[in-house]
Chains A and B, each alone.
Chain A
Amino acid sequence: MKDNAINSDQFLLKSVAEELRLPLVQISRLAELSRGSENDLSSDMKTIESSADLALQLLESYILGVELSDNQREIALSPITIGAVMNDVAHQVHKIAAQNNCDIELSIKTSKPIMGNYEAIKMAYLNIAHSIILANNSQVHKKRKSIVFAVYGKGTKNMAGVYGNDIQINKTSWEKSMSMFHKTRQKIPEFSSINGSGFFVASSILESMSLSLHPSKYKGNKGLVAGFPLSQQLQLI
């Protein structure tokens, strides 16, 4: 059991390291291109900045996931609303979304509070959002993309999901990706330039809070969702 856990960590680390090569190659080659250029470099500088930010974001999230699962960092819980977290995430990915011709939509249907760790949940959803935006960052897709941040009530839970109009993730492909995680380089075949590490890092952060991600559909878009149990005490306030 322990050997498997160690292997999982190693594979996740390898996956993150592999995914980080892309933004670093982008930065390095854009810097090389810009070196000999006499043109306005502000656009290149913006791309360099966002590539570096994405790389740092993934690294920080991986570190958080490892610390949470190893109990090196305590998960301090406080009353929060998932809608506020999603709103924050949507604002934070605004720039990356704009650079990738991706529209953002927020659909917050409930504001019932839950007990949770705001920063950890935000970090998990940032990774999901980045992966969905960048999954389509290819030459292949020319149509306008959109990403939807949705929060809605379902029974005794608040469901929080991130969905894209141009990703093909479903129950079969998600289960296959999770089972193939240790075995293949291109973990999600529908993705081209990224390997989906953001999803797996998000999943590890949420798992440390006893939450799980699963594929879901929302208004015709596909994505990943997690259910946050409502706090009975907070309902009484």
Chain B
Amino acid sequence: MKELLFIEPDKILGNTYLRYFGSKNYSVRVTGSAQEAIILADDITPDLVIVELQLRLHNGIDFLYEFRSYSDWHQIPIIILSMVPSNEFPSDKNFWSTLNIHKYIYKPKLKLSSLLTEINDITLEKTL
């Protein structure tokens, strides 16, 4: 079973992801803390990380750089699922390639079904 790690500070949305993707044959872990996410990732080695950038006392971008600093996790795909609109990201294209971000999704436009399609594609690609 593929492991998904969601870093989501809101409890209601976190539980929604847990229930929805849990019912789609994924093993789902949810945490609201960047620090706990690092510990969890070390524990389970997720197949995919889905991260909100607005975290308590933490800048999500810093988390991404920290996450990528571990050589074992260079290839773990990351989806940014955030309330932060794309125009607030660095315009430098290197930002996306350096951090190896697979996809950015603006949270107000999220549909669980389309996120499932993305996740299925990414995890299938990883298997192949």
Contact = CB atoms under 8 A, between A and B. Distances in A.
Contacts of A140: 9, 31-33, 36, 56
A57 interface: no
A26 B107 CA distance: 10
Contacts of A25: 13, 107-108, 110
B56 A138 contact: yes
Interface string A181-192: 000011001111
B57 A138 contact: no
Contact of A26 (B13, B36, B57): B13
A47 interface: yes
B54 A47 contact: no
A139 interface: yes
A25 B106 CA distance: 11
A193 B20 contact: no
A158 interface: no
Contacts of A204: none
B32 A139 contact: yes
A22 interface: yes
Contact of B8 (A18, A139, A186): A139
Nearest to A195: B54
Taking residues whose C-beta sits less than 8 angstroms from the other chain, chain B's interface range is: 20 to 34
A138 B112 contact: no
Interface string A84-112: 00000000000000001000000000000
B11 A29 contact: no
A193 B107 CA distance: 12
Nearest to A135: B56
Interface in B99-128: 107-108, 110-113
Contact of B9 (A33, A47, A192): A192
Most interface-central of A30, A138, A189, A190 (chain B CB within 10 A):
A138
A26 B108 contact: no
A74 interface: no
Contacts of B9: 138-140, 192-193
A185 B107 CA distance: 15
B108 A47 contact: no
A100 B11 CA distance: 9
A137 B57 contact: no
A190 B9 CA distance: 12
A32 B111 contact: yes
B10 A33 contact: no
Contacts of A139: 8-9, 11, 14, 30-33
A21 interface: yes
A46 B41 CA distance: 33
B64 interface: no
7 contacts: A21-B107, A29-B112, A140-B32, A189-B56, A190-B57, A191-B56, A193-B9
Given A22-B83, A139-B14, A192-B10, 7 more contacts: A29-B16, A138-B11, A139-B32, A140-B56, A189-B57, A190-B56, A192-B54
